[in-house]
Amino acid sequence: MALLHTPTALVYAVLLLLSSTLVASIQYCHTGADFCFAATQQHNTSSDSHDVYLTISATPSRNGGWIGVGFGREMKGSLMFIIYEDRESRSLITSVRSASGHVMPKVLEDVEDQVSVLQATVSDNKYLAEFICYSCWSPDVEVKGLSPYIFAGNREQSFHSADKYSSLMYHEFKGKVWGNMTVDTEDTTENSAPSIQGDEIIGIASDSPDSPKKPKGFFTPVRVHGTIMTISFMGLYFAGSVAIRSPVVRAFKYHWMIQAGASVLALGNGLYMFLRSTHFGPHKIIGLTILCSLIIQAAAGYKHHIDFVKIRRQTIFTLVHRWLGRGILLFGTMNVGVGMYYRKWSTLGLFTWFVIWCIEIAGYGYVLLQHQRRQSQQRGHAIPKEDLEEIADAEVFDIGGDLDDDEDGVEDSVHPHTLFLT
């Protein structure tokens, strides 16, 4: 600067000022988050395509945080420009990423040809980054003349010894806006990133052009899934497992009918969800394991029953069925809570689920305890088990009709009939 004459510097300053106002661009500011981005689309004559110039500015929080802007209508498939500060070197990291769905976006390798970073600075407590993305825009991305942009950020995360691969915490805020890219035709020779103009909102449509196309009612696939799985695991399996241990006549019939119904619901709905999914987290891994166990569980239950009718004794299938069943009950109900957690339920919602879960576990424990008590009471009568079963058998035949209901129950639960007999 010292080399320039003052008038020359002045002319440069005026030119710079002019040039920054000459390029019309879209701009969006998220006031609560103190962050803005601006974009222009410019025709590149040598490649005969449209380059996008993107500027992101943000006022960092005490921790720094991350901010991202993406080209696209949703996380999946969007080209994302993410910035965060390395706290040690006080430098701004730029990370160009894309995501396969609602998961942490992955760094795109070898994008140097497509994206160049014009600037990335931390100054005066302001982050400023400028990008050029070559051939990043075409009229095809538009919906009714508007181009989709997404943005998101987390102001709590602080980055130490960060690089472009640093892992990001879930966003605290996110959104989608539509830009009218046809407004910036005034100065196509100006090959520079747009500057941020105050906290104005420029060229952003107030209504989403595709909202009427996608009427997202209350019954989204995920809500239906959650409802069915809650009914199945917190309701039906629980009821069916309690049934086999309660002193009711038709315990066995109730048990297998309820469990079979719940399994049809869970398997059908679970398979549908896995066919839709693109990535696997803990919720889906637990879910898939449970679905596989359900098949083993039903087979073991059936085998136990067939064997028991013949030989009147517990087999290995009894043990498998009993303990796998308890496992399914425990992890299945737990996975309802895990699913709610990933769907960002409120603390109150999660707490309510937890209370119900505790009540169910305790209630099940109580039913098992009562069942054991009845069993030992019965032993107190000093009738050998085999005899008892013979008596019961005879009695069952006398009554008739309830054969199926009784035979399994008799082996360790006292039925009104048998009590009456002894």
Ligand X SMILES: *[C@@H]1O[C@H](CO)[C@@H](O)[C@H](O)[C@H]1NC(C)=O
The residue type of 336 is: V
Query: Which of ligand X, ligand HEM, none interacts with 44 (beta carbon under 5 to 8 A by kind)?
Result: ligand X
Pairing of strands 49-58, 126-137: antiparallel
Query: Which of ligand X, ligand HEM, none interacts with 245 (beta carbon under 5 to 8 A by kind)?
Result: ligand HEM
List residues bridging with 173 in a β-sheet.
153
220-229 long-range contacts, CB within 8 A, separation 24+: 221/272, 221/273, 221/276, 222/343, 224/269, 225/269, 225/272, 225/273, 226/336, 226/339, 226/340, 226/343, 228/265, 228/266, 228/269, 229/266, 229/269, 229/270, 229/335, 229/336, 229/339
- Residues 48-87 within binding reach of ligand X (CB under 6 A): 51
The residue type of 240 is: G
Query: Which of ligand HEM, ligand X, none interacts with 47 (beta carbon under 5 to 8 A by kind)?
Result: ligand X
Residues in contact with ligand HEM by the rule CB under 6 A: 68, 70, 74-75, 80, 82, 102-105, 150-152, 168-171, 174-176, 237, 241, 244-245, 252, 255-256, 259-260, 263, 294, 297-298, 301-302, 304-305, 318, 321-322, 325-326, 328-329, 344, 368, 408, 411
Query: Which of ligand HEM, ligand X, none interacts with 134 (beta carbon under 5 to 8 A by kind)?
Result: ligand X
Q: Given candidates 26, 146, 243, 258, which one binds ligand X under the rule CB under 6 A?
A: 146
Q: Please give the C-alpha separations between residue 63 and each of 34, 85, 156, in angstroms, as whole numbers.
A: 14, 9, 6
- Residues 203-232 within binding reach of ligand X (CB under 6 A): 205
Least distance from ligand HEM to the Cβ atom of residue 102, Å: 3
Least distance from ligand X to the Cβ atom of residue 142, Å: 9
Tokens of 84: 């965060």
Q: What is the DSSP letter of 220?
A: -
List residues bridging with 150 in a β-sheet.
70, 176
- Residues 28-47 within binding reach of ligand X (CB under 6 A): 44, 46-47
Closest Cα to residue 152, out of 78, 207, 202?
78
Query: Which of ligand HEM, ligand X, none interacts with 251 (beta carbon under 5 to 8 A by kind)?
Result: none
The span of 5-13, 139-147, 157-165, 251-259 binding ligand X (CB under 6 A) equals: 139-147
Query: Which of ligand HEM, ligand X, none interacts with 168 (beta carbon under 5 to 8 A by kind)?
Result: ligand HEM
Q: Mapping DSSP to helix (H, G, I), strand (E, B) and coil, where does residue 4 land?
A: coil
- Which residues would be at the binding site for ligand X (CB under 6 A)? 44, 46-47, 51, 134, 144-146, 180, 182-183, 191, 205
